[in-house]
């Protein structure tokens, strides 16, 4: 009887969420699935599906050199962003963890909070520094460095794109890593060093393997966010550096080519899901190796 009451309560609590999820996420996603293989009665309108299958949107996305390059660039950028975040995030998270013993919790929060300012705002913020009329160019111009360099906006530089993405998504990685690293007993580091491990060796032998799940969560989060990154790409990527998320937006919102936009998004979604699955499969295999026979 009690069990049933709890079950009922759980259903009542979860039902609105589930319904909302289906209506506002599941349904559009399903429509998208139809969208990129069907032609509408009138392009861009909400007409009746004509039933004519147009698989060439997919073929176009997958075979057109432009889109293949875009897809590769998107994942390369997201991957690089996740990797850089991971490499920078470990020392940051570990440093925070060591400092946490000395700092109060509020001081710790004070250090993390600024990093959680709205992503768009921080993405835009980079324009002030790297934009055509930004700080860097201003300095270059004042110093009368090669005029060519100053006119060529830094925004178009892939590196500036990457650095801004790293800056924007870095907190997610640090938070994910910190959660894992905070649980590590510091006496384990002592034990490792007592047994002859240097500080660095102890970090790689103890801290890294124990925080691997946190690292995976961080990589997945940053990779997924970076794949879908639209604002930073649009503002900083300029014409030369473009990514799929922006292209999907351009195709569907600006050019009203819904089919292509949908196909682009679907490809990104499926490819990202596959990549993440691979990552988790690898992690689980690692777990099994560490586990006793």
Partner 1 sequence: MASPLLSMDRVTARQHGRAVLDAVSLRLGRGQTLALLGPAGAGKTAILLALAGFLRLTSGSIRLADRDITATAPETRDIAMAFDTDALFPHLPVLDNVAFGLKMRGVPRAARRAQALAALQVLGIGGLAGKPPARLDPAERRLVALARAAVTHPALLLVDEPAASDASANREDARAVLRAALGPDHTTAILATHDRAAAFALAERVALLRNGRLEQQGTPQDLFDRPATRFAAMFTGACNLLPAILLHERDGAAVVNVAGVTAAACCPPGMAAGPVTLCIRPHRVRAEAEGKLRGVVERADFQGALTHVTLGTQAGQCLVETAQPPPGLAPGVALGLDWDGTDAWAIPPEAAS
Least distance in Å: CB of 139 to partner 1? 44
- Beta strand extents in 102-211 (DSSP E only): none
Least distance in Å: CB of 191 to partner 1? 4
Q: CA-CA distance, 40 to 255, in Å (whole number)?
A: 15
Q: Which is nearer to partner 1, 34 or 98 (CB)?
A: 98
Q: Which is nearer to partner 1, 156 or 197 (CB)?
A: 197
CA distances, 209 to each of 75, 105, 191, 284, 289 (Å): 26, 26, 15, 13, 12
Least distance in Å: CB of 52 to partner 1? 57
Q: CA-CA distance, 212 to 225, in Å (whole number)?
A: 20
Least distance in Å: CB of 196 to partner 1? 4
DSSP 50: E
Q: Which is nearer to partner 1, 28 or 213 (CB)?
A: 213
| β-sheet bridge partners, residue 53 | 38
Least distance in Å: CB of 198 to partner 1? 6
Q: What is the DSSP string of 64-81?
A: -HHHHHHHHHHHHHHHHH
Give the binding site for partner 1 (CB under 8 A): 185, 187-188, 190-198, 201, 205-206, 209-210, 290-293
DSSP 197: -
Dihedral pair phi/psi, residue 49, rounded to 5°: -70, 135
Other Cβ atoms less than 10 A from the Cβ of 70: the count is 21
Q: Which is nearer to partner 1, 187 or 254 (CB)?
A: 187
Q: Which is nearer to partner 1, 60 or 193 (CB)?
A: 193
Q: Which is nearer to partner 1, 117 or 195 (CB)?
A: 195
Please, what's the b/e burial string for 84-102 (b: 16 or more CB within 10 A of its CB; e: otherwise)? bbbeebbebbbebbeeeee
């Amino acid at each position: 009887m009690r069990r049933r009451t709890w079950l009922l309560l759980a259903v009542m609590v979860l039902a609105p969420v589930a319904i909302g999820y289906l209506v506002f996420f599941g349904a559009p996603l399903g429509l998208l699935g139809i969208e990129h293989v069907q032609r509408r009665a009138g392009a861009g309108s909400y007409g009746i599906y004509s039933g004519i299958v147009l698989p060439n949107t997919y073929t176009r996305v997958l075979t057109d050199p432009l889109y293949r390059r875009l897809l590769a660039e998107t994942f390369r950028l997201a991957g690089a962003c996740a990797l850089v975040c991971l490499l920078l995030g470990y020392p940051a998270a570990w440093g925070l963890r060591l400092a946490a013993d000395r700092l109060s919790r509020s001081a710790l929060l004070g250090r993390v909070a600024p990093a959680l300012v709205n992503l768009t705002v921080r993405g835009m913020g980079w324009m002030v520094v790297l934009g055509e009329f930004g700080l860097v160019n201003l300095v270059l111009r004042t110093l009368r460095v090669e005029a060519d360099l100053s006119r060529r906006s830094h925004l178009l530089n892939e590196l500036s794109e990457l650095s801004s993405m790293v800056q924007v998504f870095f907190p997610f990685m640090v938070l994910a890593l910190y959660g894992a690293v905070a649980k590590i007993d510091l006496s384990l580091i002592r034990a490792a060093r007592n047994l002859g491990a240097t500080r660095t060796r102890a970090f790689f032998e103890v801290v890294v393997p124990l925080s691997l799940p946190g690292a995976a969560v961080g990589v997945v989060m940053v990779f997924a966010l970076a794949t879908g990154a639209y604002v930073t790409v649009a503002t900083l990527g300029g014409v030369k550096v473009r990514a799929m998320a922006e292209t999907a937006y351009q195709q569907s919102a600006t050019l009203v080519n819904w089919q292509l936009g949908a196909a682009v998004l679907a490809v990104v979604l499926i490819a990202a899901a596959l990549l993440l699955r691979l990552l988790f499969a690898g992690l689980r295999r690692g777990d099994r190796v560490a586990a006793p026979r």
